[in-house]
Structure 1
């Protein structure tokens, strides 16, 4: 789950350069999308929102792993059988996802889609799954068994029963694509927020930066930091909404695809940077890797900033972020 929202202030103007803001919330890719457009008039803004919806729908129809007729579903249906030729766009997205698997040693893995859903975070679990069940749940997960052929633009899952799925990474990619498309069409400001994978450009109608509020994971109805967006993308991953507690230990809904056990130790990670897709990869990876390994990874990529909150209330952030001086209460 992603918990980040935009604090947008709309000032109405009456001069020739006045801009208006329009916002629409729709369900796309199985998630909530909040689309905000700043334009010269209402018609232009509404048409731009329609274009964003059409683009996200196009991407969904390429990469969804739960729609039977998409290219990714065809890849999954042919696991252990034959390579499947996909569009260059789908191939490139898969290639970038595999890069994240490599740099995180599998903490991020798009073959998680084959994982058995043995953990329940709806209040119905009364005991932990057995170690045997947990081990079995990830038997078909393993990015090293995804074979890419760049020459023929094919994807092959070498083991039967494997599946790949992009999840929120696909939402980040869609948000980035829509930002690029809107800028090319002359829409100078807006936000595409796919369930917390947020891509922004331009400024509010009052000329100020867009800002986000970051939820306090110890008091989820409150905001502990408000941060102006100086980079175009921001993604927050949080484990404080969905979790279970066994023997005094908290287990988050974000599962480590290498072990089958839920991530522990980190309650929230917010990542800022040039790409929502990449920021999503980092935020998810840091949740799984934990504080020490996660910080070691992201500090290698200075174009991305972060705010990490641990289960015990510690805050770690990039030096240039004001949030480093805040404390959770």
Structure 2
């Protein structure tokens, strides 16, 4: 009996996991982390490791920073010979290349010249003129980016090329933030970078984390609420970032094949094994549209998604075959 009581007292004295939260601005958005840890000291170590990791990735992948690795790679184009790049940059470029091939250029990180042109258009509230648009398009094309997987190199083969990792970098960043946190033995975690989310084990006593699927309008409640564990979620759409020019609404999401901002009102949410994959697919499906986009998602049993589209007065919802049922 004494042994039994001693064991019981030991179990009772164990401190339960506590919820901790922290937020920092990185990559043009807020990185918010929620986690369950045994104490504040452990939580603070997790937060520091995760945010330091994200800051370092921003120094590699930001096209706003002229000294970042990706900016230096772009500014030195065209390259006569391949250029060796960091592990993180190559991983992102390789995933981008695979998706570019699969979507026939609907996803393309060489879209940088067009991104720069449309940022200028949004500032000036004026459509890019045809001459500038044609010049920018001449420097865009995923086939112009040569990658060497054996020696981890990248080569931009045409003058004026510029990489833009805005549709994939945050996905990689949330993956790496989660990995940094897990080195401390903390696994009940959610990292959210402005809609790019990576999810760990379920919170104590719960089946999973509650994730809202974004509606078409920013002031509307989530169209669905899902309970998820051990996966990544990314949302892409024009609810917040768009410009109205010449009586037409243009999304910040560009179609690399036409050089124009999307005019289709949509919100895409993807569930995938990694943030890297979810983020890039959300951008790709936005460009492909509901028919080809859902067809792409249905090729893999580990990937699912939903695309909400404004069609005249109607709002249509298109889901892939593996998308989870609503709570």
1:63 aligns with 2:61: yes
Contact 1:235 1:270 in 2 (8 A): yes
Alignment partners' CA distance in 1, 2:325 and 2:239: 19
Summarize the Cα distance change of 1:15–1:120 in structure 2 as closer, same or farther, 3 Å threshold. Answer: farther
Match of 1:48 in 2: 46
Q: 2:215 maps to which residue?
A: 216
Under a length normalisation based on structure 2, what TM-score does the superposition of the two structures give? Answer: 0.86
**Structure 1 partner of 2:90:** 91
- Structure 1 residue 102, shift from structure 2 partner: 0.8
Q: 5+ residue gaps in structure 2?
A: 1-11
Output the CA distance in 2 between the equivalents of 1:287 and 1:97.
Answer: 15
CA distance in 2, matches of 1:167, 1:61: 13
Contact 2:213 2:223 in 1 (8 A): yes
Is the CA contact (8 Å cut-off) linking 2:305 and 2:320 kept in structure 1? Answer: yes
- For the residue of structure 2 that corresponds to 1:112, the secondary structure is helix
**In 2: Cα distance, 1:297 partner to 1:71 partner:** 31
Contact 1:286 1:294 (8 Å CA) reproduced: yes
> Is this contact kept in 2: 1:268–1:308, CA < 8 A?
yes
Aligned to 2:172: 173
State how 1:272-283 maps to structure 2 within 5 Å.
272-283=271-282
How far apart, CA to CA, are the structure 2 residues paired with 1:62 and 1:247? 37
Q: Answer yes or no: is the 8 Å Cα contact 1:225–1:323 preserved in 2.
A: no
**Cα distance, 1:123–1:170 mapped onto 2, change above 3 Å:** closer
Name 1:311's counterpart in structure 2. Answer: 310
CA contact (8 A) 2:167 2:283 kept: no
1:29 alignment counterpart: 27
Cα shift readout 1:24-63 (whole Å, capped 9, x = no counterpart) = 1111123211112210111111211111011112222222
Give the Cα–Cα distance (whole angstroms) in 2 for the partners of residues 168 and 17 of structure 1: 41
Taking structure 1 as reference, are residues 225 and 179 closer, same or farther at Cα in structure 2, changes over 3 Å only? same
Contact kept in structure 2, 1:252 and 1:262, CA below 8 Å: yes
- Relative to structure 1, is the Cα distance of residues 53 and 244 closer, same or farther in structure 2, using a 3 angstrom cutoff? closer
Residue in 2 that maps onto 1:3: none
- Structure 1 unaligned blocks of 5 or more: 1-13
SS at the partner of 1:33? Answer: strand
Q: CA deviation at 1:198?
A: 0.6
Helix, strand or coil at the partner of 2:223: strand
| 1:134-171 alpha-carbon deviations (Å, 9 max, x no partner) | 33332221111111223332211111111113124111
Aligned residues: 311
CA contact (8 A) 2:146 2:155 kept: yes
Q: SS at 1:268's partner residue?
A: strand
Could you tell me which residue of structure 1 aligns to residue 188 of structure 2? Answer: 189
Within-5 A mapping of 1:79-228: 79-82=77-80, 83-115=82-114, 116-118=116-118, 125=125, 128-218=127-217, 220-228=219-227
Which one has the largest radius of gyration? 2
Give me the whole-angstrom Cα distance separating, in 2, the residues matched to 1:16 and 1:152. 50
More helix by share: 2
Structure 2 residue 242 is the aligned partner of structure 1 residue 240:
no
Determine helix, strand or coil for the equivalent of 1:97. helix
| 2:4 match | none
How far residue 108 of structure 1 moved from its aligned partner, in angstroms, is 0.7
Q: Would you say the 8 A contact 2:121–2:127 is kept in 1?
A: no
Distance 1:279 1:217, change over 3 A: same
Q: Aligned-residue CA RMSD in angstroms? A: 2.5
Alignment match, 1:255 = 254
Q: Secondary structure at the match of 1:314?
A: strand
Shift of 1:231: 4.5
